[in-house]
């Protein structure tokens, strides 16, 4: 079922979460161990991230280095199929522009349609480690709005080979939104303009980057409504549970921690101290978002369920 229909049919805020495929060579059992404890909160859908290739240099001896492409976390599509089969919920694969040309994208979408996937989260992807700026594949999309445009066309039966009448796909498309702006955007308004382009191209729901200050989410929703973005905006939440998170999350995701929270975190000496503060903060955030009518609370689990479960237990 489509995310938009789940939201339309719900009388209250829904719970959902995101997982990441295991590192290559690791089994799927660990993933299930992270999902199982969260199923009691009846997630209608589970998101599965996509991780593109990276380049490493292998020492071949004699001073020679060979550039090798590796995918550390393959398996997004297989995991979606496994989740749908095992838990009877919708799985939402993330699909990115990076590493795909238009035909790769079309073929990936055909596979997903055959699997019975109803929703796609369409993203550009970050630059890979060896690039300072995002570089599209030869013949690939530069921006998520273009990828969304391609999916929308397939939803109308317009494939790349336009000569024939093709069976329309029926994907509900999601896009990413950034309450604190995307790190490359010149300012929040220009980012907002490009977010509107994604909605105009066919995005029917938005999932936000994680944030720790609810006021930023509420402002973001207001700004979206002002520029004519009227699709559901799903807040993304990530519990802070380790000392490392306090520097890693702002650096990696380009987000700020509010001062009240950072003051409390600075007093923490151990991971256990941080976890306590992080979970209390997460519960307050989630309670307020729910009470003010957020359509879904979407948790970034990074495959760890215990903190998310504590927050969800206090709220759902
Ligand atoms: P875009 O919407 O294409 O925007 C990228 C930048 O370009 C923004 O600064 C935007 O303002 C600007 N821009 C857009 N259009 C134009 C234009 N026409 N002209 C000039 N500038 C423009 N990454 C992964 O690799 N795999 C994942 O599974 C994944 N999941 C994610 C899930 C969520 C909910 C979120 C929030 C992010 C996720 N990401 C994932 C990260 C995402 O790929 C990066 O944040 C990426 O840098 C931007 O993706 P986007 O889809 O927002 O890009």
Ligand 1 atom at minimum distance from 174 CA: 34
pLDDT digits (tens, 9 = 90+) for 178-203: 999 999 999 999 999 999 999 999 99
Per annotation, catalytic residue among 18, 146, 180, 204: 18
**C-alpha–C-alpha distance, residues 227 and 206, integer Å:** 14
For residue 248, what pLDDT is reported? 97
Q: What is the mean pLDDT of residues 144-148?
A: 98
- Calpha distance 227→199 (Å, rounded): 11
pLDDT in tens, 227-239: 999 999 999 999 9
pLDDT digits (tens, 9 = 90+) for 243-284: 999 999 999 999 999 999 999 999 999 999 999 999 999 999
Residue whose pair of structure tokens reads 């896009």 in the numeric block: 175
Paired with 56 in beta bridges are: 68
Cβ-contact 274, 242 below 8 angstroms: yes
Q: Helix, strand or coil for residue 235?
A: strand
Summarize pLDDT for 6-52 with one digit per residue, the tens: 999 999 999 999 999 999 999 999 999 999 999 999 999 999 999 99
Instruction: Answer yes or no: are the C-beta atoms of 126 and 134 closer than 8 Å.
Output: yes
Q: From CA 146, how far away is CA 97, in angstroms rounded?
A: 9
- The residue contributing the CA closest to ligand 1 atom 15 is 194
Alpha carbons 262 and 93: distance in angstroms, whole number: 33
Asked if residues 121 and 93 have their Cβ atoms less than 8 Å apart, the reply is yes
Q: What angle do CA 175, 20, 13 make, to 5 degrees?
A: 55
pLDDT of residue 160 exceeding 80, the answer is yes
> What is the per-residue pLDDT for 55?
83
* Residue of minimum CA distance from atom 25 in ligand 1: 125
- Is 90 exceeded by the pLDDT of residue 63? no
C-alpha–C-alpha distance, residues 298 and 282, integer Å: 12
Tell me the CATH number for domain 3-315. Answer: 3.20.20.220
Chain centre distance of CA 284: 22
CA distances from residue 303 to 31, 66, 128 in whole angstroms, order as listed:
6, 33, 22
| Residue 163 pLDDT | 74
Q: Which H helix or E strand runs over 103?
A: helix 102-115
pLDDT of residue 69: 85
Residue 54: active-site member: no
pLDDT over 80 (residue 133): yes
In this structure, are residues 94 and 123 in contact, taking their beta carbons and an 8 Å threshold?
yes
Residue with the nearest Cα to atom 53 of ligand 1? Answer: 124
Ligand 1 neighbours by CB, cut-off 6 Å: 49-50, 94, 96, 121, 123-126, 143-145, 176, 182, 184-185, 190-191, 194, 198, 207, 209, 236
Protein residue with its CA nearest to atom 22 in ligand 1: 194
* Strand duo 172-177 + 65-70: pairing: unpaired
User: Rounded to the nearest whole angstrom, what is the distance from the C-alpha of residue 141 to the centroid of ligand 1?
Assistant: 12
Cβ burial 15-44 (10 Å sphere, 16+ → b, else e): bbbbbbbbeeeeebeebeebbeebeebebb
Atom of ligand 1 nearest to the CA of 144: 3
């Amino acid at each position: 079922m489509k995310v938009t229909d789940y939201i339309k049919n719900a009388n209250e805020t829904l719970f959902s979460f995101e997982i990441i495929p295991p590192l290559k060579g690791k089994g799927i059992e660990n993933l299930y161990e992270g999902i199982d404890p969260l199923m009691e909160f009846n997630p209608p859908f589970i998101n599965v991230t996509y991780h593109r290739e990276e380049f490493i240099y292998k020492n071949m001896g004699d001073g020679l280095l060979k550039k090798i492409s590796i995918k550390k976390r393959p398996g997004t599509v297989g995991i979606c199929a496994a989740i749908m089969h095992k838990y009877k919920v919708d799985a939402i694969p993330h699909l990115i522009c990076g590493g795909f040309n238009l035909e790769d994208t079309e073929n990936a979408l055909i596979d997903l349609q055959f699997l019975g996937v109803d929703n796609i989260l369409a993203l550009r992807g970050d630059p890979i480690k060896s690039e300072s700026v995002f570089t599209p594949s030869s013949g690939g999309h530069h921006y998520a709005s273009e990828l969304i445009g391609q999916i929308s066309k397939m939803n109308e039966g317009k494939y790349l080979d336009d000569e024939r009448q093709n069976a329309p796909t029926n994907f509900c498309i999601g896009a990413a939104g950034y309450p604190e702006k995307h790190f490359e955007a010149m300012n929040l308004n220009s980012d907002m303009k490009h977010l509107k382009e994604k909605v105009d191209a066919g995005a029917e729901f938005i999932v936000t980057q994680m944030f720790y200050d609810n006021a930023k989410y509420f402002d973001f929703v207001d700004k979206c409504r002002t520029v004519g973005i009227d699709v559901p905006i799903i807040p993304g939440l990530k519990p802070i549970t380790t000392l490392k998170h306090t520097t890693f999350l702002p650096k990696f995701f380009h987000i700020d921690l509010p001062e009240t929270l950072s003051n409390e975190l600075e007093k923490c000496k151990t991971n256990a101290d941080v976890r306590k503060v992080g979970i209390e903060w997460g519960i307050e955030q989630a309670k307020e978002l729910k009470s003010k009518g957020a359509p879904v609370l979407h948790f970034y689990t990074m495959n760890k369920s215990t903190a998310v479960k504590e927050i969800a237990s206090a709220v759902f």
